[in-house]
Amino acid sequence: MQKKHLEKSIFKKIIDGDLPSEKVFENDQLIAIKDIAPVAPVHLLIIPKKCIESIQVMQPEDLPLLQEVVSVAQTLAKEHGVANGYRLLTNSGTDAGQTVFHLHFHLIGGKILGPMG
């Protein structure tokens, strides 16, 4: 097992209150915080509290979390004025640019977003 799997991730530390964050939402399943290095005027991270490394290793019993993520994203998009257009994405694995190995979804908007890829 690699070291990264044994350590508390940055997001687990934030969930546990060991690290500060700009929290914009919390319920029993998820938190949402402002990204520390925003790539757009609105850049939020929706983070399931359960420690799951990435979407690629989600188990069937965890899939209802995705429904909750979408529901919270819709609410946050309205609250942050980007319901007209935003991107909701997750990076899975280092090839995709994942840097924090605790499942999270970026909600990005507030400017005209360029093409993906």
Chain residues that interact with ligand AMP, rule: CB under 6 A: 10, 19, 21, 33, 35-37, 45, 91, 97-100
* Separation between Cα atoms, residue 19 and residue 13, nearest integer Å: 6
Q: How far is the CB of 101 from ligand AMP (least distance, A)?
A: 7
Active-site residues, by number, are: 104
For ligand AMP, which is the closer residue by CB, 59 or 99?
A: 99
Q: How far is the CB of 102 from ligand AMP (least distance, A)?
A: 8
Q: How far is the CB of 105 from ligand AMP (least distance, A)?
A: 9
For ligand AMP, which is the closer residue by CB, 2 or 99?
A: 99
For ligand AMP, which is the closer residue by CB, 65 or 100?
A: 100
* Separation between Cα atoms, residue 38 and residue 79, nearest integer Å: 17
Residue 78's alpha-carbon distances to 83, 84, 97, 103, 110, in angstroms, are 5, 8, 27, 23, 12
